[in-house]
Copies of this chain bind each other. A is one copy, B any other.
């Protein structure tokens, strides 16, 4: 397989994959392109390579910067901005976990806390089932939160150690 073929395959597959993670195709593709680029790229180059519009490129680059997955770089003698991706995949994974935890787990916990306050008596079947579900959900989500919060503080080697200890 030729380099260009492999590159296109990776970018396109990463784009498809992104969709199932709630990340837009373009954002995933910009990320993929920067991940495999040895040098930082300008918005112009990204647009041309991926055949996407200026607006799209700009928006997705900004989002990737917000996610902490891409950095702005200053190239001496060049006026325009260049961008490069975080290449340490473990850091990338941690960043993604961190962002999703903040965006998804925190709101669930807030919601569940709120919903526990529902009025009702213990003898009402529906009320009981509701409280049970909310309580059990909270317990599981709390544990996931705990695990993820700790995981993003580990380095990759420590994680490996932990995994082996855990599932020996």
Contact = CB atoms under 8 A, between A and B. Distances in A.
Interface of A: 1-3, 5-7, 9-10, 13, 17, 19-22, 35-38, 87-90, 92-93, 103-104, 107-108, 111, 114-115, 117-120, 124-130, 132-134, 136-137, 139-140, 143-144, 146-147, 150, 156, 159-160, 162-163, 165-167
A119 B1 CA distance: 6
Judged by DSSP, the binding face of A is: helix
Nearest to A154: B167
A36 B133 contact: yes
A17 B106 CA distance: 12
A88 to B, nearest CB: 8
B17 A108 contact: yes
A63 to B, nearest CB: 14
Given A2-B118, A3-B127, A10-B134, 5 more contacts: A5-B118, A10-B130, A17-B104, A21-B104, A90-B140
Given A108-B17, A134-B10, A165 B163 contact: no
A115 B5 CA distance: 9
Per CB-CB distance, the 8 closest pairs between chain A and chain B, nearest first, are A6-B118, A38-B129, A150-B167, A89-B136, A89-B140, A38-B125, A162-B166, A36-B130
13 contacts: A2-B119, A3-B119, A3-B130, A10-B130, A10-B134, A13-B111, A17-B107, A36-B129, A36-B133, A38-B125, A87-B136, A90-B140, A146-B163
